[in-house]
Amino acid sequence: MSDPKNNQNSAPTSKNIEDRKTNDNLKDESRRNLIKNVAYATAGVGAVCAFLPFIDSMNPSKDVQALASVEVDISNIKVGEEKKVMWRGKPIFIKRRTSLEIDDAKKVELSELKDPQNDSDRVKAGKEEWLVTIGICTHLGCVPIGGQGEYKGWFCPCHGSQYDTSGRIRKGPAPKNLEIPPYEFLNDKTIKIG
């Protein structure tokens, strides 16, 4: 006698029919999930591709990037002189300090300063004779006059703030030192600001 379990030609039972339906349903559900996942992935890639040009349009244009920095020839600035240039609509003071001005700036005690900062923190190492500042008073935004005031740095004619030869506030209503812009020496004759 043959075993009914191994007999493939036996008549389908209701249990076999249910098992086949369950298997077919699982296969259909698996296919549907695959199709949904492919559709979601395609939509996601499409959305990213559609938004990339929009996001890229938020980047500054080449001409704006060119104005973001300025190169300044400093070869013609004599010791003790100052050059003014514009960067992003702001005046920049480039001062070639004398050795006396540097020594005086280094001797100042931090406790004497309203906004304590060492002279060495305001200049580039090895280029201590060069001080580069944004020429806007930190009180109300006036442009200070160079070589004026008690400290022979800068004097703000609007409200009397006085800065030393390191651009640090020494007297008057200004709360902060003259700001130092981002800059670097490209060589001994050129500074890049920004």
Tens digits of residue pLDDT in 102-158: 999 999 999 999 999 999 999 999 999 999 999 999 998 899 999 888 988 999 999
Q: Is the Cβ–Cβ distance between 166 and 110 less than 8 Å? A: no
Alpha helices for 57-111 (secondary structure H): 62-67, 99-107
Q: What is the pLDDT of residue 62?
A: 65
CATH number belonging to the domain at 65-193, selected among 2.102.10.10, 1.10.260.40, 3.30.470.10, 1.10.150.130:
2.102.10.10
Cα–Cα–Cα angle for 90, 80, 154, rounded to 5 degrees = 45
**Cα-Cα end-to-end distance for the chain:** 95
pLDDT tens-digit series, residues 18-75:
666 666 666 777 788 888 888 889 988 888 888 878 777 777 676 666 567 899 999 9
pLDDT tens-digit series, residues 71-95:
999 999 999 999 999 998 899 999 9
Domain ranges of the chain: 11-59, 65-193
Q: Is the Cβ–Cβ distance between 134 and 178 less than 8 Å? A: yes
Alpha helices for the chain (secondary structure H): 14-56, 62-67, 99-107
pTM, full prediction: 0.65
- Catalytic residue IDs: 159
